[in-house]
Structure 1
């Protein structure tokens, strides 16, 4: 077998958390004309953004979920007919790991605005997060039926394929998206990670560096680039990247994990080699969240830390990042109720 042999994805587990921001849309508060009493007060986007909605969105983007949740709940009580406030509440619940509450909020937003895309994407993200991969695939495909080149749906569909062990299909989807959206960070990040984890670290590096030859500003991009260099045996380059934003202990944990993963790939590339007695690594999700760009991140952990080298202690969290493009800004890192770490 060659180094291009896919990792045994069925033996890996991933929890993904997609960072998101609601696409603002709404109506405006109008002063009623004399003699005219409207059935209900209408609020437009500008009015909402100028007050609590702007505060809530800012809190969501900065990762302050307690403030975001509090303000969105108040907005829902004050303006229950506005789909955008239900979307914001759903996003806050999602990032907090409260998936059933998020689902209910997305359902309400969809009832108020059947033409709105965001509730559909929200439901698909929940299915992906819960590893209901068939449902997630169907939901993303339904969106793509009407919008074949939608970058968010393509990114999500690709992640679903990667997690189902269909790396070739996932990579084809990412490439399709990049042909239509060559500057999409989520699609490029996902493709690079998929290539790196499936025995093609050199191509992954070329994808992640892009035309500029420089790593992107997002932690996921740097994490994935470091992983690719580590899998190629360039620990010096991986260490330089990690040391620019990680403490020394985390850097060494990551490097030790890259060695372990590289050994697993090398063993699979030797036809006569006996089956490894080590447990294959598992991708354990840690949400991804970045300011100003759509992304989802994951963390790579061994299934059985007791079988890892002593230098990779149980609980260490080497990071990589699968991304699922969202509307513009993403939320900054913090843990959610499921243990996924937004970073």
Structure 2
């Protein structure tokens, strides 16, 4: 009788262990599958394949609602596609689940840099304290300072980013642009010139250099530079836009002078 009970108990224990193993294996398989899907999506995002990434993320979001990894990538996809309002909502949902997400705060600040520079400055000022040795955070913080008219602080911040990572090009170009915006055009041109002349120079770098060429009274040089990588029609439109930028700043400065406001505000 006792042996029969022992055998029965062993069967129950064996069955329990088998069930547990299957459950654990199934859970592990699901985790591995999720991680693989996320890895594939990151590759797609890195290569600019936003359409396929968005399709996969949308399906995953249905299976894994309120997952911060998925929501963050949905925010990135929408920001890349220019759907800023959707991106903002996804960033906010990510931050609600993970308030310490550096990537979500950075993504949100990049959107705000375009239309809410004061809000971007607040975010990046806080991030710069949390990540004082992160050159990307410090560089973006400098951009926010520039957009809020705090040029000297911005320039010191770019220098700080350069000291953290001397191989990073962006803060050096931003420093040159900031010097130009604050009236030190020749110094700005000297910094950006070698980067704009490089064979692999980014269009944004060349445009920044053209902007300072206009400020230095060199419209023909600015036009030639723009035509070196843009069709003539696009180059003309860009040249007009850059000229309007300086014209708008001049008009704003004159209006502020009439009102007696400080002339070095944006």
Per the TM superposition, whether the score is higher than 0.5 is yes
Q: Give the equivalent residue in structure 2 for 1:57.
A: 45
More helix by share: 2
Question: How well do the aligned residues superpose, as a CA RMSD in angstroms?
Answer: 3.8
Cα distance change of structure 1 residues 259 and 143 upon mapping to structure 2, 3 Å threshold: closer
TM-score normalised by the chain length of structure 1: 0.56
Q: Give the equivalent residue in structure 1 for 2:145.
A: 161
Matched, 1:77 2:34: no
Runs of 5+ unmatched residues, structure 1: 1-32, 276-282, 284-343
In the alignment, is the contact (CA less than 8 A) between 1:56 and 1:72 conserved in 2? Answer: no
In the alignment, is the contact (CA less than 8 A) between 1:216 and 1:222 conserved in 2? Answer: no
Q: Matched residues in 2 for 1:149 and 1:143: separation? A: 11
Q: Deviations over 1:84-140 (max 9, x none)?
A: 32211011222344444323322443455555421222333344344151x322221
Matched, 1:123 2:108: yes
Cα distance change of structure 1 residues 263 and 46 upon mapping to structure 2, 3 Å threshold: closer
More strand by share: 1
TM-score normalised by the chain length of structure 2: 0.70
Alignment of 1:73-222 (within 5 A): 73-80=58-65, 82-110=67-95, 112-113=97-98, 115-131=100-116, 133=118, 135-210=119-194, 214=198, 217-222=201-206
Q: Give the equivalent residue in structure 1 for 2:32.
A: 43
Q: Matched residues in 2 for 1:122 and 1:71: separation? A: 20
In the alignment, is the contact (CA less than 8 A) between 1:189 and 1:220 conserved in 2? Answer: no
> How much does 1:242 deviate?
1.1
Runs of 5+ unmatched residues, structure 2: 1-17, 259-265
Q: Deviations over 1:296-318 (max 9, x none)?
A: xxxxxxxxxxxxxxxxxxxxxxx
- Which has the higher Rg, Structure 1 or Structure 2? 2
Q: 1:252 aligns with which of 236, 239, 244?
A: 236
* Greater RCO, 1 or 2 (C-alpha within 8 Å, sep 6+): 1
Q: Matched residues in 2 for 1:105 and 1:111: separation? A: 10
Aligned to 1:233, what secondary structure does the other structure show?
A: coil
